[in-house]
């Protein structure tokens, strides 16, 4: 009976985790297709400009301050990718420390689960939870920060447009945005302004901004600036149009979120109903479930039902996630 309770609690945890990831991600959370499109577009811009995107000045300085061993660890291929995610999440930590904490939490979670239950399956689940917990924190913080950045972009573009019309140079308009806006946008524009002041041209600074903040709105902004630098034109008017497009995208996303609210609520209900019924039956009819749990065929049915629920939750997440 104790084993079944732990299995039930594990299934509930997985169901809530999957539903929360699918339903509570910010509206402007970055989808897989969007990431591919941004990477492809960034590669095209780099090839056209003849320059490679660079790490932020802050990260380059940060790496120089590390010990030789830490610098070598941070430069490993997979850890470089993780370090980029950490930077985009706005967190102050090193990639190799995240990996080390993940391994430590995995061992701790597995050890605690084994001591409490003496069940290999539950111990493996505890270890898995400990392993993924640091990465989930990073991904959630990154998604939330990118969403905040997206929300601030229209106002930031308007500040730049007014500054350009008032006669400020392009770098001066970047500085005004860094001074007038709130984090996280002000921090990234401050780095961009510092990048220009360090001797890099605007194209290189814009590529660095897009690398640090891979979002659709920033891609549109950077593309507009790079095209204007190549072909000429009135940048203030171009930014005015970009701001209108981004605001229209906001309205469309919010409309989609409103129209899909019923589907998200249905997903919660459909995903949790089997577990709620299981708990209610165990309370109302305590003698009903032991016959199912003690029988080998009954336990097999529970496992099959759990797998089916897991697949169903994944399918619901896929249906309700709308990428625009």
Q: List the structure tokens of 172.
A: 């001066």
- The pLDDT value recorded for residue 129 is 83
Short-list 40, 2, 106, 11, CA closest to 302: 11
- Give the total residue count for the chain: 324
147-256 placed in CATH 3.40.50.360: no
End-to-end CA distance of the chain: 47
Short-list 70, 7, 1, 64, CA closest to 275: 7
- CA–CA gap between residue 31 and residue 224 (Å, rounded): 23
What residue spans define the domains of the chain?
1-28+260-324, 147-256
Q: For 254-280, how does the pLDDT look when each residue is reduced to its tens digit (9 = 90+)?
A: 787 777 777 777 777 777 777 777 777
- The pLDDT value recorded for residue 257 is 75
Q: For 201-229, how does the pLDDT look when each residue is reduced to its tens digit (9 = 90+)?
A: 788 888 888 888 888 888 889 888 888 88
Burial state string for 249-264 with b = 16 or more CB within 10 A and e = fewer than 16: bbeeeeeeeeebeeeb
The model carries a pTM of 0.71
- Region 176-198: mean pLDDT is 89
Secondary structure of residue 286 in the 3-state scheme: coil
Whether pLDDT at 116 is above 60: yes
Confidence class for position 300, pLDDT limits 50, 70, 90: confident
- Region 182-200: mean pLDDT is 86
CB 155 within 8 A of CB 181: yes
The phi, psi pair for 65, rounded to 5°, reads -85, -5
Give Cα separations from 104 to 98, 108, 113, 128, 299 (angstroms). Answer: 10, 6, 14, 11, 33
């Amino acid at each position: 009976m104790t084993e079944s309770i732990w299995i039930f609690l594990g299934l509930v945890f997985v169901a809530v985790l999957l539903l929360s990831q699918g339903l509570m991600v910010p509206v402007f959370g970055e989808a897989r297709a969007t990431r591919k499109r941004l990477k492809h577009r960034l590669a095209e811009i780099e090839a056209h400009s003849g320059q490679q995107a660079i790490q932020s000045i802050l990260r380059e300085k940060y790496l120089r301050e590390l010990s030789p061993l830490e610098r070598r660890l941070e430069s490993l291929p997979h850890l470089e990718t993780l370090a980029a995610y950490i930077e985009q999440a706005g967190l102050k930590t090193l990639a190799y420390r995240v990996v080390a904490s993940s391994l430590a939490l995995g061992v701790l979670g597995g050890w605690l689960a084994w001591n409490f239950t003496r069940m290999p399956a539950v111990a493996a689940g505890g270890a898995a939870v400990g392993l993924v917990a640091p990465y989930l924190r990073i991904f959630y913080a990154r998604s939330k920060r990118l969403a905040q950045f997206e929300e601030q972009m229209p106002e930031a573009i308007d500040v730049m447009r007014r500054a350009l019309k008032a006669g400020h140079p392009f770098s001066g308009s970047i500085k005004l945005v860094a001074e007038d806006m709130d984090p996280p946008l002000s921090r990234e524009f401050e780095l961009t302004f510092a990048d220009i002041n360090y001797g890099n041209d605007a194209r290189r600074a814009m590529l660095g901004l897009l690398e640090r903040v891979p979002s659709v709105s920033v891609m549109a902004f950077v593309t507009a600036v790079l095209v204007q630098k190549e072909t000429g034109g009135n940048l203030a008017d171009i930014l005015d149009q970009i701001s209108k497009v981004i605001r229209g995208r906001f309205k469309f996303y919010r409309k989609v979120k409103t129209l899909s609210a019923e589907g998200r609520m249905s997903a919660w209900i459909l995903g949790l109903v089997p577990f709620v019924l299981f708990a209610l039956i165990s309370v109302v009819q305590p003698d009903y479930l032991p016959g199912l749990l003690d029988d080998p065929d009954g336990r097999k049915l529970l496992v099959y039902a759990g797998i089916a629920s897991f697949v169903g939750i994944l399918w619901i997440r896929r249906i309700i996630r709308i990428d625009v």
